[in-house]
Each structure stands twice: as structure tokens, then as C-alpha cells.
Amino acid sequence: MKPAKFDYHRPDNLPDALRLLDEAGFDGKIIAGGQSLVPIMNMRLATPECLIDINGLTDLDFIECKDHVVKIGAMTRQSQVEDSEVVGQNIPLLKEAVPFIGHVQTRNRGTIGGSIVHADPSAELPLVLMTLGGKVKISSGDEERIVDAEDFFITYLTTDLMPTEILTEIHIPVWEGQTGHSFMEVARRHGDFALVAASCQMAVDEVGRIGNVRLALGGVEAIPFLIEDAQTVLCGEQLTEGLIEQLAEIVGESVEPESDLHASEEYRRHLAKVLTSRTLRQAYERARG
Amino acid sequence: MAMQEIEVTINGTRYEEMVEPRMLLSDFLREVCGLTGTHVGCEHGVCGACTVVLDDAAVRSCLIFAVQADDRSILTVEGLAQNGELTTLQKNFKENHGLQCGFCTSGILMAATDFIEKKPEADSQEIKEMLSGHLCRCTGYDGIVKAVEKTIEENKNSVKELNT
Ligand SMILES: Cc1cc2nc3c(=O)[nH]c(=O)nc-3n(C[C@@H](O)[C@H](O)[C@H](O)COP(=O)(O)OP(=O)(O)OC[C@H]3O[C@@H](n4cnc5c(N)ncnc54)[C@H](O)[C@@H]3O)c2cc1C
Ligand code: FES
Ligand code: FES
């Protein structure tokens, strides 16, 4: 299993990387951590003619929190996010999700940007970005644009990113007040891609009434998606087992999972319901303190 | 594409070689440098046999191209023992049945070396999570977990001794 031949460039700044990418056109491909790209190159499922290595773009390796938004550079390694205090304090949901991505040894190399651009339907980071209403910042030769997570993921392994663009940052709003979070998934073995993953963030008032709740599922359909009904059913209410069951039923009826070699449609539907209940319950308990 | 020249420090020794960009770091170590202690199992990131320490992190050498290691430093299993003396971790693998055929061992030793340095207080659960990145078809992992646990314990004791 050896990759096909390619040209290799290692620019040390973003404008050079964008220029090289533009020149390469459809033959060009960015390599970040390589943890998704290199396996498929080794198997020759991908045979890019020109690789542009952005590991030299050290400006894209940062984590900062300003004005209630955490910004993370695309080249930040997943293990750095896992160990980051800024992330732990401000976006505990993200900190809880990262250890589910592969293994220590892949997180040491795999990047935030790479996982989001790769857009695997079961991937943890796109799911968290969707749950928290995050955004991505994208650069091309002549412009910069910011896209909402909800508009960024299009279908399996496909995003709104053009071949001449580079994802440079992700932005995640920090929730204020009394909040709770929960991330859970079911996978065959630790480190495998999730069969189904659920992710929830909630804010409650002093008497435990839900003010805001975002619940999203991954691994069920082509892209992670929000359960809009969570807002309508739960806002203004104190969480009860009855409400949890009501929402789990709605999820069970509305999701359209596919069967594949890892899990059947029914099993995924079942997991979607179970994980919906569990994450809601845990997020609420944590918010109540 | 033309060959590219790279300079890599491996186990303290500097190597200057010409490589094709598509050469995997695992193949570079084994075939160009003759360091066959790094093993190759799956070549797609799943088995962990090819794990080496690149700068200060354990990574899969089958998912990195040798050109990407230009100007970097690498530690492989050949760099662990000094003057024939095994590290505490290696000794504990030997004493706790942490290996049988040895195919997975070099990768696990490299990951565990990096892990123990970063998490000197790690508990069994954390050790098992770290080991989830490695496949071993012989041992059943029990001896491997013990070897890492014992090393952490011994390191703690020797720190205590130093402080008293
Ligand atoms: C054994 C194993 C288990 C894994 N398990 C999981 C798992 O459970 N969950 C999970 O989510 N992932 C998992 N992964 C994949 C994860 O490790 C990758 O890190 C991630 O999917 C891709 O990030 P990367 O930095 O490695 O990107 P690369 O592999 O370098 O790139 C992936 C794709 O994104 C593009 N790209 C990368 N960065 C940018 C950028 N900044 N701008 C534009 N395009 C870009 C590349 O061109 C490529 O198409 C696993 C991988 C392995 C090997
Ligand atoms: S050979 Fe690299 S992980 Fe299997
Ligand atoms: S000792 Fe044989 S594979 Fe682990």
C-alpha cells in the first residue's frame, strides 16, 4: 500500500499556500495532520498530483478566547485542544468530545481544521461545532469569508469549501450563566468512529427552567444535524422523564438513518433515541449543579 | 517529482538523504536508514506498530511522509536503550510478559514512553485508553498494562527517593 506520485510543497505562510493551491487547481490538495488523507492515499482511493503541506503555517496554531468567543486555528492539533485550559473552562463540551476522536497517537497529529473539512458523518468535531452554533473562517486568494456550521456541511465528506480555499479558524460562542453539557457516543471499540453520537448544551434559570437547549446527532445521517424540536418542547420547562421520553419519541420518528456494514437502520434509530435521553439528562443534571 | 533532500535527526544521529515525496516515514526509517525496529502492520493508521516519537509526540510513521520530517527529530525503538541498558519500561515489558512475538512492541514502547513522560501519574483507565491505539494479537494486553503501571509506580518511587 504505497501512495501514487505527487509533487510536494511546504509553504511557510498562508498567502503562499493559497497561491500554490490556486496554481494547482483541481490537482492540488492540502495536507494537514494527514490522519484521514494519508490512509486514503496509501489505499489509492485518493491520488492528488500536488500536495500542499500546511504544517509550516504556525500562525494557524492557536487557541484564544475574546469577547465570549473561542477561536481555534485550523492547524491546532486535537491533543492540544484536549489539554487546553481555555477550552476546558469555556467550552467543556468540546473538551469532553475530543478524547473520542481516534487515539492519543492520531490526536497528536490530527488537526481541528482537518477533521472539520474531512466532514465524516460520525466525526466528533463537526457535531460539536453544529451543537454550539459555531462558525468557520475560510480564506482564498482574494477574500475571506465566515460560514455558519449549519451551512458548511453539505453531505458525506462534502462541505461548502472550494478547492482553492483553506479553512483557517473555527469560532465557537461561549455560553454564559448556568449551563450544562453532555457528549456521548456508541462505537464498536474505543477510538472507532461512532455508530451514533449525541451532543447537548443547555442553559437553565435559577429554578431549573430550560432557557436554551441545543441537541445534535452525528452518525445518523450524512451530516450532523440539530434536533429543532428540542427547543420547542423543552424551553421554559423543567426537565422531566416525561419530556425526555417525548423528545426521544420525536427523534425516533423523525431521523432517517441508513443501514451499512457497521449497524442496521433500526439499531441506529434505537441508539439515536437512547443517546438523546442520556445526553439530555446529563446536561440538565450538570446545569442544575 | 524530483527527489528532495531531507535532513532528519534520528536517535541523535543526523541523516541527510534524498527521498521521493511519496515515501512514507515508516519506509524511510526501515529501508533507507536500516532502522527495522519500527514495524509496519496496516499502513493506514489502525494498528500502531509503526509508532515513533516525532519531536515531542508519539505519532504513526505510516501516516507521515519522510519529506515532512525534514529538520525534525525522531526517536525510534533503537534509541531507547543506552549502552545496552534497557529503560525501566523495556525492563518491565520483559518482566511482566508485556510481549510475545514482539511485532506490536516497538510501537507500544514508543507510545508509552511519550505517554509516561506527559502523564507521570496516569491511572489504569488512562493507560488502557492510550493502548487502544495499538493492536496486539498475542498478549491479551494484560502484561502490557502491568508493565506500564509498574513503570509509573517505579518512577514515582525513584522521585520520592530523590526528594528524601
Ligand atoms: C485509526 C484512526 C482512527 C480515527 N478515528 C476517528 C474518530 O473516531 N473520529 C474522527 O472524527 N476522526 C477519526 N480519525 C480521523 C482523524 O484522526 C483526522 O485527524 C481528521 O479526520 C482529519 O484531520 P487531519 O488534520 O489529519 O487532516 P488531513 O488528513 O490532513 O486532511 C483531511 C482532509 O481535509 C483537507 N484539509 C485539512 N486541513 C484543511 C484546511 N485547513 N483547509 C482546507 N482543507 C483542509 C485535506 O485536503 C483532506 O481532504 C481517525 C483516524 C485514524 C487513523
Ligand atoms: S502500520 Fe502504521 S498504524 Fe499500522
Ligand atoms: S506481542 Fe505479538 S502482536 Fe503483540
Q: What is the pLDDT of residues A171-218, one digit of tens each?
A: 999 999 999 999 999 999 888 899 999 999 999 999 999 999 999 999
- Which residue from A140, A164, A137 is spatially nearest to A148, judged by alpha carbons? A137
Write down how long chain A is.
289
Question: What residues have CB less than 8 Å from A255, skipping those under 6 apart?
Answer: A217, A220, A221, A268, A269, A272
Residue A58 has pLDDT above 90, yes or no: yes
Q: What is the structure's pLDDT at A191? A: 83
Among protein residues, the one with the nearest Cα to ligand 1's atom 33 is: A118
Return the higher-pLDDT residue of B122 and A1: B122
Tell me the CA–centroid distance for residue A110 and ligand 1, in Å. Answer: 6
Instruction: Express each pLDDT in A244-267 by its tens digit.
Output: 999 999 999 999 999 999 999 999
Distance CA B78, CA B68 (A): 21
Number of domain units in chain B: 2
- What is the average pLDDT across A122-144? 96
User: Do residue B135 and residue B116 come from a single domain?
Assistant: yes
Q: What is the pLDDT along chain B (164 residues), one digit of tens a residue?
A: 589 999 999 999 999 999 999 999 999 999 999 999 999 999 999 999 999 999 999 999 999 999 999 999 999 999 999 999 999 999 999 999 999 999 999 999 999 999 999 999 999 999 999 999 999 999 999 999 999 999 999 999 998 888 87
- CA distance to partner chain A, nearest, from residue B164 (Å): 31
Q: What is the structure's pLDDT at B163? A: 82
Select the residue of A10, A77, A191 nearest B133 (Cβ to Cβ).
Answer: A191
User: Do residue B75 and residue B93 come from a single domain?
Assistant: no
Q: What percentage of chain A reaches a pLDDT higher than 90? A: 96
User: Which amino acid is present at A148?
Assistant: D
Tell me the CA–centroid distance for residue B17 and ligand 2, in Å. Answer: 23
Contact yes or no for B22 and A189 at CB 8 A: no
Q: What is the structure's pLDDT at B159? A: 86
Residues in chain A closer than 8 A to B49 (CB atoms): none
Q: What is the structure's pLDDT at B2? A: 82
Write down how long chain B is.
164
Q: What percentage of chain A reaches a pLDDT higher than 70? A: 100
Where does chain B have alpha helices with state H? Answer: 25-27, 88-95, 105-118, 124-131, 142-163
Residue A94 has pLDDT above 80, yes or no: yes
The ligand that comes nearest to the alpha carbon of residue B103 is 3
The ligand that comes nearest to the alpha carbon of residue B93 is 3
Residues in chain A closer than 8 A to B20 (CB atoms): 5
Instruction: Express each pLDDT in A18-33 by its tens digit.
Output: 999 999 998 999 999 9
Range of the domain at B153: 88-163
Question: Which class would CATH give A61-173?
Answer: alpha beta
User: Do residue B58 and residue B93 come from a single domain?
Assistant: no
| Residue B32 backbone zone (phi > 0: left; psi -120 to 50: alpha; other: beta) | alpha
Contact yes or no for A39 and B63 at CB 8 A: yes
Supply the pTM of this predicted model.
Answer: 0.97
Q: What is the structure's pLDDT at B1? A: 58
User: Do residue B19 and residue B45 come from a single domain?
Assistant: yes
Query: What residue segments make up the domains of chain A, in order of their start?
Result: 7-53, 61-173, 178-288
Question: What residues have CB less than 8 Å from A140, skipping those under 6 apart?
Answer: A18, A22, A162, A164, A165, A166
Is residue B136 less than 8 Å (CB to CB) from chain A?
no
| Residues contacting ligand 2 via CB (< 6 Å) | B 40-43, 45-50, 60, 62
Q: What is the structure's pLDDT at B162? A: 84
Q: Which of B26, B50, B79 is a domain's end point?
A: B79
Query: How remote is the C-alpha of B122 from its chain's centroid?
Result: 18
Contact yes or no for B22 and A2 at CB 8 A: yes
Residues 70-109 of chain B whose Cβ lies under 8 A from any Cβ of chain A: 70
- Choose the CATH number for A178-288 among 3.30.390.50, 3.20.20.120, 3.40.50.150, 3.30.465.10: 3.30.390.50
Distance CA A112, CA A74 (A): 5
Pocket test for ligand 3, best of B96, B99, B109, B148 (most atoms within 8 A of CB): B99
Distance CA B14, CA A120 (A): 39
Residues in chain A closer than 8 A to B60 (CB atoms): 35, 105-106, 109
User: Do residue B102 and residue B148 come from a single domain?
Assistant: yes
> Which DSSP letter does residue A175 get?
P
Q: What is the structure's pLDDT at A142? A: 83
Half-sphere exposure of A124 (CA within 13 A, CB side): 27
Q: What is the structure's pLDDT at B112? A: 98
- Which residue from A180, A197, A178 is spatially nearest to A276, judged by alpha carbons? A197
B100 lines ligand 3 (CB under 6 A): yes
Contact yes or no for B132 and A99 at CB 8 A: no
- Which residue from B39, B16, B9, B15 is spatially nearest to B27, judged by alpha carbons? B39
CATH number of A7-53: 3.30.43.10
Return the higher-pLDDT residue of A192 and A281: A281
Instruction: Express each pLDDT in A137-161 by its tens digit.
Output: 999 988 999 999 999 999 999 999 9
ipTM of the complex model: 0.96
A124 lines ligand 1 (CB under 6 A): yes
Neighbours of B32 (CB within 10 A): 16
